[in-house]
Amino acid sequence: MIENGFRRGVIDQTLFIKESGDDIMLVQVFVDDIIFGSTDQKMVDEFEEVMQKRFKISSLGAINFFLGLQVDQTEKGIFLHQSKYVADILSRFKMENERVVKNPLSANHGITPENTGAKVNPTLYRAIIGSLMYLTASRLDIMFATCLCACYQAQPNVIHMLAAKKIMRYLKGTPSLGLWYPRRDRFELTAYSDSDYGGCKIDFKSTSGGCQFLGSRLVSWQCKKQTAVAQSTCEAEYIAAASCASQNPVNHSKTKHIGIKYHFIRDCYEKRLIDVLQIGTQTQRADLFTKAFDRPPFLFLLNVLGVRERADVVSDKELLK
């Protein structure tokens, strides 16, 4: 790749970039699979020719399925979803005939580490959680609920199993939800961060939530328990903000002291790398990654985050072949 004029990504070492005038080509390498695209068809043709001379490869054409992720391309934009994977895990865990629920997690869910409930098969529970975690690659609507259930994999009881199965019952009613990326839109980078305060019932650490947008397109999101116990809501917010602002350079995630978090944000602000704004509760998009919601606010957050039903944004007639 380097020999043929590509430069390697600084953060993602498996990403290669090549520029020619106003055009750009991106190549992403996944072990023995490659995804590539360009703003210039000539660059695509040249890349295929070079690769076929050097390696025994086959080109499968426009991407529509990759590592469990389905890609629907139209003239209006791209829709990412995992409908087939949802059907597969529902079948694997025999949940196809279960009753549908409207939320993956109730606002008053009552999930605690108490060991009073009957124990369940931990291997089965971990298999369900692992399957759900892989689904969060496109289903951000189940991320908080899945991360919460993942905290109890050591000694799960019946309460935890019921919560995990509720997520799958929710998936049964929403199998084709995914992310819509419109073709014509703005490209400014906007990030939202939020946190709860001492939300973990095991060690009382707070949870950081964050999401990053290019225009209206959601490109990254996080739901992660903080590494240090925050002693105030302000401290929890600073940790979440620093994590969100340094989402790409991951070395910052290991710094714990609140002073470092505060000065990191302040330094970024003074260098005009970021602009810090207060976001009202009604428009805080990162809230979905820090707590559970009742149905109306849950649907509102999904809408502003760009989550759509496949049928609402793409039809089979529009798909690019």
**What does the pLDDT look like over 164-198, one tens digit per residue?**
999 999 999 999 999 999 988 888 889 888 888 77
- φ/ψ (deg, to 5) at 298: -65, -45
Supply the pLDDT for residue 57. Answer: 84
pLDDT confidence of residue 248: 60
pLDDT of 74 over the 60 cut: yes
Give the percent of the chain with pLDDT over 90.
48
pLDDT digits (tens, 9 = 90+) for 102-113: 999 998 888 877
Please choose, from the candidates 98, 78, 87, the residue with its C-alpha nearest in 3D space to the C-alpha of residue 37: 78
Q: Among residues 270, 211, 260, 212, which one has the least CA distance to residue 239?
A: 260
Q: Which two tokens stand for residue 201?
A: 């019932």
What's residue 36's pLDDT? 93
Tens of pLDDT, residue by residue over 13-34, are: 999 999 999 999 999 998 888 9
Angle between the N-to-C axes of helices 158-173 and 122-135, in degrees from 0 to 180, rounded to the nearest 10? 30
